Structure 1
Amino acid sequence: MNPTHAVSQRAEPARERLRRLNITLFLPLLVTVGALLVARDARTWWEALVLGAGVAAALVAFTRWAAGDVLRVALPCLIVTAAVWPFSVLVADSGAGFYGLSIVGSYVVPHLPRHRVAAAAGLIAYVAAVGASRLLVTGGDLSGVLIEYVIVPAGITAIFVGLMFPNRRFYGLIEELEAAREREAELAVIRERVRFAGDLHDIQGHTLHVVKLKIALAQRLVRGDAERAERELREVHALVSDTIAQTKELAYAQRRLNLSAELENAKNLFEAAGIRVRVERETEVDARAGELLGLVLRETTTNILRHAQAGQVRIDLSGSGIAIVNDGAPEAPLPALRGLAALRERVAAGGGELTVEQKDGRFLTAATFPHGGPDAAPHSVEGRPT
């Protein structure tokens, strides 16, 4: 299992969470305001239909903006709302028809690839010019027409568009931070791999060189001094056996970092994946039990990143065990978790119990040692979490 790949696959972008928040907070408000304006100004059903089309186009633009692809619907939404505004001014006798155009324009203009300032100025000028055309069909008070159809619509449109420029920059910063967190997680994994590769080279590089020399010597001695050749081969056998043992110890040492280090590593990986983490630690854990609990925590962390869509994780550590609970568990039957199955046997061999439960979208992994620690020191682990 590649933790970096799991993080990148699992991590829910902050933009997605902001999208849901924006829709929850602002979509009802936009619908309510639009419905009230249509109900107030429409005198016939067909006027309500046209004004409602402008509101609907604004809602479409908003939802696509929240999803990050507003430009895909920009042209049709702009055409609809740009047509509704002169209809509102010249036919429906309504100064509120700019509502849809101001919303669509404020979401579209800041996301244009270029000429954004010119587009913003053109949008405001269009709203003001269409509003001023009201003077062609009315002989009413000039100042009243200018205020209701020109100054207010153009001013509100300018404010909406102006506010969306820093908003776009804010979303850009969120995306940059998200990318930086993923890169940090990737670098942490790469640094650990480089460290392990260096240690492995230190153990095996010298040994292989010595083995090569001794085998070459034994080949030359096999006929002239068979006794010494046999002694050289015995030394080669002992050296290889010792190197195998050191390699296993190195692999095990990588797997059995102390529990505090595993807690910090799990916390960093979850946070890099955008998952909220809460750690409750009552007391220190027996060193031998801590090795097993650290392995349980590492395997569970890998499984959460790989199989769940978690938004939050809680880790409870007591003197006798550990419990990890996450949300986002799939409703489908849980896939086979071979790593936890192997750890269940090891925990049982140490006098403990490993519990795995899935219920109501939550997943619990708990390892407990009723007597405070394993009966024997844990055996070495071969392989990696799956």
Structure 2
Amino acid sequence: MEGAGVRRQRRSSAERVESYTRKSVNATYVVFGCSELVLALPGIGRRWDSVLPWLLVPLTVAQCVLAVVVTGQAMTRRLAATAPRPHPWPVCALGVVTALLLAGFGALAGTGLLVAVYLLPAGLSFVTSVLTGSYALLVARRRTVAVIAAVPTVCVAVLLAGLGLNVYGVVVSLLVGAFSTASTAATVRCSAWVVSVVRELAAAREAQARLAVAEERLRFGRDLHDVLGRNLAVIALKGELAVQLARRGRPEAVEQMVEVQRIAQESQAEVREVVRGYRTAGLRSELTGALSVLRAAGVAARIEGDDGTALPPVVQSALAWVVREGTTNVLRHGDARTCVIGLRAGPPGPAVLTMENDGVDAARPPGSGSGLAGLRERLAALDGTLAARPCAPDGFRLTATVPWPSGTAADEASRPATDPVEPAVTS
């Protein structure tokens, strides 16, 4: 039971939609099969020794099973071009079983064992609808689907006319059969189309998440290039000049190498500034960026509480890292649909940042990533803590707590006075 629950939680939204759609189509076939049995079973009750009604029961079950197999293979092929084509024997067997069912119900009506004769057109339309729905995904053109739906409907009308049904009854059976087969074929094809659209949306969502990460890397690389590009070119030129001067024994070579050293030290300082700026991104900008990235990935994200502008810069920097890592985990792990970011800046009390999302992969233990371990080390330097734990039913909550640094204005304001000043006593 536990393994089944884990597998259910690990499935993405697209997989759940596909599973629900397949089960719905299969359930439709089962309903049609049960409707067919409504015509056959009363004949069994009227004459137990008659073989014909008993034969219709396994034929109906076989038709439903073959319809499920053919539809499943055809839908898999339609959703993935690389999937194998449906096996020909279930397709042929379904057609043969359907023909036997039509002939069997016709013979049942001819022997007088059919109790509700007026339901025969509807029952036969159910038989043809199962066939049409299964074959609807095997072809691409709509005209071919229309032909597939029309042929068994006409066959049913001819069968009913041969059984002595009047013209009015034949026309009604044609209309009922045409509506039933056409609606079943359209439902099955639309179901496959919905699943394909959901798959495309899931792929686009994953691509957007990867694109957001790639854009951040490109931005960082562009900043490094802007800082180091010119300085490295100057270092190369001055180094080459120093080599030429040294070969000639000129004292200016030392000056050029000193200049190279100075430029290298400046470049080192500029790189540190770039990295420091990347690492100390403002909390407010990180919150805004997290909302943008999550919403672009299809996650309904919102922020509750303060905006963090009143926090000291060192606390903002630490919590900004939590937001960045938490957003990455939401996009990378699980299949989140909602994400709520809460911030309570204080004082009194410490600053508390929470990130709660659903759609978590239950097979991955909470707090097992190296990113969370790095966050714990970063927060520990500020006497802060980081808690990562699952929450019911399939959610995950990340909580970062950072106390206000001692000596800040808010810390002094929230600290109770321990040495009250006594009023001066004058005599």
TM normalised by structure 1 equals: 0.76
Please point out which of 351, 356, 361 is paired with 1:325: 356
Q: 2: distance between equivalents of 1:92 and 1:74?
A: 30
- Counterpart in the other structure of 1:82: 98
- Counterpart in the other structure of 1:135: 161
Q: 1: distance between equivalents of 2:170 and 2:63?
A: 22
- Counterpart in the other structure of 2:306: 283
2:238 and 2:260 in contact (8 A); partners too:
yes
Count of aligned pairs: 360
Per-residue deviation, residues 16-38 of structure 1 (Å, max 9, x unmatched)? 34324435666556534532441
Distance 1:374 1:13, change over 3 A: farther
Please point out which of 124, 132, 151 is paired with 1:105: 132
Q: 1: distance between equivalents of 2:214 and 2:366?
A: 30
Q: 2: distance between equivalents of 1:298 and 1:104?
A: 54
Q: 1: distance between equivalents of 2:207 and 2:276?
A: 27
- Counterpart in the other structure of 1:201: 225
Q: 1: distance between equivalents of 2:319 and 2:170?
A: 75
Per-residue deviation, residues 145-180 of structure 1 (Å, max 9, x unmatched)? 5534x3322332123334556666555555554454
1:54 and 1:81 in contact (8 A); partners too:
yes
1:300 equivalenced with 2:322 (yes/no): no
Q: 2: distance between equivalents of 1:313 and 1:80?
A: 53
- Counterpart in the other structure of 2:400: 367
1:127 and 1:154 in contact (8 A); partners too:
yes
- Counterpart in the other structure of 1:211: 235
Moved more, 290-299 or 232-241: 232-241
Per-residue deviation, residues 102-123 of structure 1 (Å, max 9, x unmatched)? 245235425623x431332243
- Counterpart in the other structure of 1:3: none
Q: CA deviation at 1:289?
A: 2.1
**What code does the residue aligned with 1:72 have?**
P
Matches within 5 A, 1:47-66: 47-60=56-69
Q: 2: distance between equivalents of 1:27 and 1:372?
A: 63
Q: 2: distance between equivalents of 1:174 and 1:342?
A: 36
- Counterpart in the other structure of 1:384: none
Please point out which of 169, 174, 178 is paired with 1:144: 169
**What code does the residue aligned with 1:283 have?**
D
Q: CA deviation at 1:216?
A: 2.6
Moved more, 313-322 or 341-350: 313-322
Please point out which of 312, 316, 337 is paired with 2:342: 316
Per-residue deviation, residues 13-59 of structure 1 (Å, max 9, x unmatched)? 64x34324435666556534532441343333322221232233344
Distance 1:45 1:370, change over 3 A: farther
**What code does the residue aligned with 2:107 have?**
V
Distance 1:371 1:25, change over 3 A: farther
- Counterpart in the other structure of 1:34: 33
Per-residue deviation, residues 265-292 of structure 1 (Å, max 9, x unmatched)? 3344444554x33323211212432222
**What code does the residue aligned with 1:57 have?**
L
Higher alpha-carbon Rg = 2
Secondary structure of 1:124's aligned partner? helix
- Counterpart in the other structure of 2:256: 232
Question: Equivalent pairs: percent with the same residue?
Answer: 27
Matches within 5 A, 1:181-192: 181-192=205-216
Distance 1:80 1:309, change over 3 A: farther
Q: Give the root-mean-square deviation of aligned CA atoms.
A: 3.7
Q: 1: distance between equivalents of 2:407 and 2:155?
A: 81
Per-residue deviation, residues 181-204 of structure 1 (Å, max 9, x unmatched)? 445445444444443333222211
Distance 1:79 1:111, change over 3 A: closer
Please point out which of 326, 347, 362 is paired with 2:379: 347
Moved more, 19-28 or 254-263: 19-28
Distance 1:174 1:254, change over 3 A: same
Q: 1: distance between equivalents of 2:32 and 2:256?
A: 91
2:231 and 2:264 in contact (8 A); partners too:
yes
Distance 1:65 1:119, change over 3 A: closer
Q: 1: distance between equivalents of 2:232 and 2:124?
A: 82
Q: 1: distance between equivalents of 2:296 and 2:100?
A: 46
Q: 2: distance between equivalents of 1:154 and 1:374?
A: 82
TM normalised by structure 2 equals: 0.70
Please point out which of 242, 251, 271 is paired with 2:266: 242
